[in-house]
Structure 1
Amino acid sequence: MPFGHDMVHSLATVVELVNTSPSTGGDEGLPSLAELRAFVESRQISGVTALTPRDLGQVRLVREAFHRVFISKDQAAAVRLLNALLSETSITPRLTEHDGHPLHMHYFAADSTLAEHVAADCGVALAHLLVEGEAERLRTCSAPDCDRVFVDESRNRSRVYCDSRTCGNRMHVAAYRARRRA
């Protein structure tokens, strides 16, 4: 995918955020402010100072809205859901350089909450993906016991598992064993 650093980073951030949801088959990945802070730090979300319980609740709501975009049945539904999410944010595009990253775009307003920040930057990244006609790159893992999401960045759009080392390997071993038994 011919996207710059900021778009690739935002797409990875939205995937990681959605995969903290119990809706993807695991436990709550953001059970407290400590985990939210760890997420903010690991994803290098800039401009975030103090976090409150309200931030945690708002980020969880944004996370579920993004999850609905990933599991939408078609591009029209994804567009509708993403437009609804983006309409709730104050988008203020600006060029920036920080933390050793090259010049890139930020879309969140300077005084936005963490949820608005994530909704704006990650929402615009997903919007660019849809505009480029790449909605089919938004996927859910094909492993029968996994509902995690991912963005298929392969050239031929052939990725089917959220992680080739866990789900992919497990499914390949199971298929191999089934062939051996047959």
Structure 2
Amino acid sequence: MLLAHDTEAALAAAVELVNSAEDPDTLRTVEQVDAWYAKHRYTGRHDRDDAELAELRAIRPVLRRLLTADRDTAAEMVNDMLARAHAVPRLLRHDGIDWHIHAVAADEPLVRRVVVETAMAMADLVRGDEMSRLSTCADETCAGVVLDLTRNRSRRFCSTACANRVAVAAYRARKKR
């Protein structure tokens, strides 16, 4: 199944946000939120304050549960998230991005927009039976979430650092023999 651009973008942003909680925590300052916001091309309200940082940090475990849930649980979580946010999906074009879906107003708090956009993206995965696009890192020492957008579904690691760590460990184990 081909995923829409906004689905891929929302999932990538959510995965990075969730993985920022892994050791070392990479979401500790407002400047780090600014960089994440810009990287993932968010638009709309961005308060750039400690309260917004705290809200984003607090939502990471909830998003982790959603991204690692089985299909039925994810569907229930998505429905709950969208209902709580009073989400009303609408198609928009802005900032050089073609038609895509927003389900809450741009002046809503960033954390609410992140939750709703992630829920909308997960709705696509649930509907398309594409939950295998999400997994946890194959590095046994890492709990990072993996978003696999490859055609052959071959991505196993959350980062090149984890992939390299496993490869080096395997190499060293072979050398010992």
TM range (shorter): 0.7 to 0.9
Q: CA deviation at 1:62?
A: 2.5
Instruction: Give the Cα separation in 1 of the matches to 2:72 and 2:171.
Output: 38
Which residue in the other structure is 2:6 paired with?
6
Which structure's relative contact order is higher, taking Cα pairs within 8 Å and 6+ residues apart?
Answer: 2
1:108-138 CA-partner distances (Å, limit 9, x unpaired):
2243111111111121001211111111221
Q: CA deviation at 1:82?
A: 3.1
Which residue in the other structure is 2:83 paired with?
87
The answer to whether the Cα contact below 8 Å between 2:45 and 2:107 also exists between their aligned partners in 1 is no
Consecutive unaligned residues in structure 1, runs of 5 or more: none
Which residue in the other structure is 1:132 paired with?
128
Matches within 5 A, 1:1-182: 1-21=1-21, 24=22, 26-72=23-69, 74-163=70-159, 165-182=160-177
Query: Over the residues paired in the alignment, what is the CA RMSD in angstroms?
Result: 2.0
Deviates more, 1:106-115 or 1:123-132: 106-115
The answer to whether the Cα contact below 8 Å between 1:150 and 1:162 also exists between their aligned partners in 2 is yes
SS of corresponding position for 1:177: helix
Q: CA deviation at 1:144?
A: 1.7
1:119-176 CA-partner distances (Å, limit 9, x unpaired):
111210012111111112211101022111121122332321112x322232123223
Deviates more, 1:171-180 or 1:60-69: 171-180
Partner amino acid for 2:154? S
Instruction: Give the Cα separation in 2 of the matches to 1:177 and 1:52.
Output: 46
TM-score (norm 2): 0.87
The answer to whether the Cα contact below 8 Å between 2:136 and 2:146 also exists between their aligned partners in 1 is yes
Instruction: Give the Cα separation in 1 of the matches to 2:25 and 2:163.
Output: 23
Instruction: Give the Cα separation in 1 of the matches to 2:50 and 2:78.
Output: 25
Aligned length: 177
Inter-CA distance 86–27: structure 2 relative to 1 (3 Å threshold): farther
The answer to whether the Cα contact below 8 Å between 1:90 and 1:120 also exists between their aligned partners in 2 is no
Consecutive unaligned residues in structure 2, runs of 5 or more: none
The answer to whether the Cα contact below 8 Å between 1:65 and 1:85 also exists between their aligned partners in 2 is no
TM-score (norm 1): 0.85
